[in-house]
């Protein structure tokens, strides 16, 4: 299982690299290589850990983003998110390397790498707490899904989306593309809307979720929202 996940991740890294270097027009782009290397190492460690700890979750994360039990809204959301992600990488390549419309100092690039690493650590904590963290919005009745309230879910109701915010900020900083920060508010708003719809689904299917929402007030950012 882990070997298959590594193959899939390698293929995705090749695709991301092709987009970045194609848009950047330069294979000698140290920041892009650093980004790809960081994602490769973090993904390898996480997938090997999941392969031993929770093979069912690893299989779920490896599955297609589309599922027969998934609603139309979420299918459209994931399609738009995929297109937006590709466009975001293209913008980063054009700005960060080909035309150099903007740049970030070395300390900001290091901060970007740190934010990406922190995102991956938070994702690991999510996976450790929630075996039902599928890529699609759906209730996994066949696995006896229940409301998860431990680990990072004690702080915010959607810790994986919160972790993604760190990724969205860290990547432009590491790649030296300040223009790539412009779409980030739209990305955050999109995941915020998805969080609201996910809560509606969980409240209707999991009786304990209402009580959980009463205890944990914030969705993404403690003290803010």
Structure tokens at 65: 């983003």
pLDDT of residue 9: 87
The CA R_g of the chain, rounded to the nearest whole Å, is 18
The torsion region of residue 20 among left (phi > 0), alpha (psi -120 to 50) and beta comes to alpha
- Structurally, the chain folds into a number of domains equal to 1
CB 221 within 8 A of CB 164: no
pLDDT band at 83 (very low <50, low <70, confident <90, very high): very high
CA pair distance 57, 131, nearest whole angstrom: 6
pLDDT in tens, 125-176: 999 999 999 899 898 888 888 889 999 999 999 999 999 999 999 999 999 9
What range defines the domain where residue 171 resides? Answer: 2-215
Q: Provide the CATH number for the domain around residue 35.
A: 1.20.120.1630
Give the position of tokens 């860290």.
170
pLDDT of residue 2: 58
pLDDT of residue 224: 84
The mean pLDDT value for 74-94 works out to: 95
pLDDT of residue 69: 85
CA pair distance 38, 122, nearest whole angstrom: 15
Residue, of 19 and 222, whose pLDDT is higher: 19
Give the position of tokens 């070997």.
3
Residue, of 109 and 2, whose pLDDT is higher: 109
CB 89 within 8 A of CB 22: no
If one counts every other C-beta atom within 10 angstroms of the C-beta of residue 66, the result is 12
Whole-model pTM: value is 0.93
- Within-domain flag for 176: yes
CA pair distance 54, 81, nearest whole angstrom: 27
- Within-domain flag for 181: yes
- Within-domain flag for 99: yes
- Within-domain flag for 223: no
Q: What is the chain's mean pLDDT, rounded?
A: 93
């Amino acid at each position: 299982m882990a070997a298959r996940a590594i193959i899939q991740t390698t293929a995705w890294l090749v695709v991301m690299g092709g987009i970045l270097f194609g848009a950047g027009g330069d294979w000698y782009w140290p920041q892009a290589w650093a980004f790809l290397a960081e994602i490769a190492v973090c993904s390898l460690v996480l997938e090997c850990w999941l392969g031993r700890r929770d093979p069912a979750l690893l299989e779920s994360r490896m599955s297609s983003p589309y599922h027969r039990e998934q609603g139309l809204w979420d299918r459209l959301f994931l399609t738009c998110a995929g297109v937006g992600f590709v466009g975001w990488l293209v913008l980063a390549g054009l700005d960060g390397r080909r035309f150099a419309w903007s740049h970030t100092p070395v300390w900001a690039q290091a901060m970007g790498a740190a934010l990406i690493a922190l995102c991956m650590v938070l994702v690991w904590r999510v996976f450790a707490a929630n075996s039902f963290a599928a890529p699609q919005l759906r209730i996994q009745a066949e696995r006896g899904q229940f409301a998860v309230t431990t680990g990072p879910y004690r702080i915010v109701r959607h810790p994986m989306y919160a972790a993604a915010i760190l990724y969205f900020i860290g990547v432009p900083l590491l790649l030296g593309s300040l223009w790539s920060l412009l779409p980030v508010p739209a990305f955050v708003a999109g995941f915020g809307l998805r969080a609201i719809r996910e809560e509606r689904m969980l409240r209707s299917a999991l009786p304990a979720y209402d009580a959980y929402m009463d205890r944990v007030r914030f969705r993404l950012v403690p003290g803010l929202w």
